[in-house]
Amino acid sequence: SAAAPPAPARGATVALNKPKGVLCTHRDELGRETVYDMLRQKLPPALQSHYHALGRLDADTTGLLLLTTETPLVAAATHPENHLPKKYYALAAGRLDDATIESLRGGVEL
């Protein structure tokens, strides 16, 4: 396996609007597009490095995804002991009845 490119002299963090169908994984055994493929295509050579996602979005989910070369930032943002609060917003097709809305207000265990 090829060595990872060196990290920039200063850390880098990028915001990516992840489209539907793109995976949040470094490698996909089925050859599907990943957020890291997108970075390699879009970032200038000076910013090419080994990035880590600050969280994940499902393949069918779109939205903001932060990726960084700052390993301590990844650890602080994703380690369960830090209890970093997260909010997710979703659009539902059709109308939800009152019971479903009330159930969702209590949160969804992932």
Q: Which of 58, 60, 97, 98 is catalytic?
A: 58
Residue 28 appears among annotated catalytic residues: no
Instruction: Provide the β-strand partners of residue 65.
Output: 16
> Cβ(66)–Cβ(14) under 8 Å?
yes
Among candidates 6, 2, 13, which has minimal Cα distance to 77? Answer: 13
- Identity at 97, one-letter amino acid code: D
Burial 69-86 (b: 16+ CB within 10 A, else e): bbeeebeebeeeeeeeee
**Active-site annotation, residues:** 58
